[in-house]
Amino acid sequence: MTISQIMLRPVRNKCTTANSVRAVVNIAAIGMRLRIGWVRRPSFSTLGSVASRLQWIHVLFVIEYTSMIDLYTWTTPNGRKVSIMLEELGLPYRAIAVDINANEQFKPEFLAISPNNKIPAIVDHDTGISLMESGAILMYLADKAGRLRGDGKNGWQTVEWLMMQMGSVGPMLGQAHHFLKFNRGKSDYAEKRYGDEAKRIYGVLNKRLGEAEYLAGDYSIADIATWPWIARYEWQGVDFASYPDLKRWYRAIAARPAVQRGYHVPKEVTPIPMPA
Ligand SMILES: N[C@@H](CCC(=O)N[C@@H](CS)C(=O)NCC(=O)O)C(=O)O
């Protein structure tokens, strides 16, 4: 990490220590990682009169680090993967909403970061790296933090189930949403094809989760990639009763505080769906 700037913030007479502390918190709220906050207070013996005391300036020095990550996202399973990951890792980030219903993904400034016009994408100002594709982003963040990627044998299982999500769970369940939720009645063939495929995928995941607590053994980016898609089980017309191990896994991940925070980025739309 590099020190990006030193802010010298003069705050006038009514700035009590409490106000100064609030200033530090406000800066943290926009995502900067604060390392040092220091308030220099005058000693009363140096103040000649009430008037000069009122003129006295408290100075707050803050050193900021450029560890912030810009996350371009929307309220969809692919977007939520990355906000959940960032919340799990506790990395400072700023969510930038790209409303795909308003075609904001086609704006030239977004295409410069995500040439395939899809969210999510990130810009890591710490390293200067920008990335599209949720699987690549999850791998990058796991590598950056040294967490949630699995180790040894689990590492390859993590890659295996992450790739299964990217190549199968996401694309197939996305088609199920398209035909079963948004275009019902337009194609019986497509509804059956993707409805059946959704159930087949649920069966594969349920079997795996009957053998292991999480997809790659330990909780990992494979689970973080998959869970937001399963959170749309109602859109996919799936009844969890036939998939008890998948339901156990779904509920355990839904209970994680980081998942609950990351789900509502960049804004809250509905509560997390919860099967009985
Ligand atoms: N393979 C991509 C898929 C991303 C994707 O499909 N994003 C959708 C929202 S979930 C999107 O941005 N759609 C806008 C569009 O296709 O124009 C990934 O995993 O990041």
CA 238 – ligand 1 centroid, Å: 22
Measured from CB, residues less than 6 Å from any atom of ligand 1 are: 76, 78, 100, 105, 117-120, 133-135, 170
* Helix (H/G/I), strand (E/B), else coil: 35: strand
pLDDT in tens, 152-204: 888 999 999 999 999 999 999 999 999 999 999 999 999 999 999 999 999 99
Both tokens assigned to 107 = 């704006």
CA 185 – ligand 1 centroid, Å: 24
Both tokens assigned to 108 = 């030239």
**What pTM was computed for the model?**
0.80
Is residue 220 within 8 A of residue 150, CB to CB? The reply is: yes
What is the model's pLDDT at position 6? 38
Q: Which residue intervals of the chain are DSSP H helices?
A: 17-29, 50-55, 77-89, 108-111, 134-145, 153-164, 170-176, 188-211, 221-230, 244-254, 257-263
* Helix (H/G/I), strand (E/B), else coil: 36: strand
- Residue among 73, 118, 122, 265 to mutate when testing ligand 1 (max atoms within 8 A of CB): 118
Q: CATH number of 69-145: 3.40.30.10, 3.30.70.20, 3.20.20.140, 1.20.1560.10?
A: 3.40.30.10
CA–CA distance, 108 with 189 (Å, rounded to integer): 37
Sites in the chain below the pLDDT cut of 70: 1-67
The full set of domain ranges for the chain reads 3-65, 69-145, 153-262
Strand partners, 124: 69, 129
The reply to whether CATH 2.40.30.30 applies to domain 153-262 is no
What is the model's pLDDT at position 67? 60
- Rounded (5°) CA angle 80-85-86: 100
Choose among 69, 10, 1: nearest CA to 35. 1
CA–CA distance, 71 with 81 (Å, rounded to integer): 11
How many contiguous H segments (helices) and E segments (strands) does the chain have? 11, 7
Nearest CA to ligand 1 atom 11: 118
Nearest CA to ligand 1 atom 14: 118
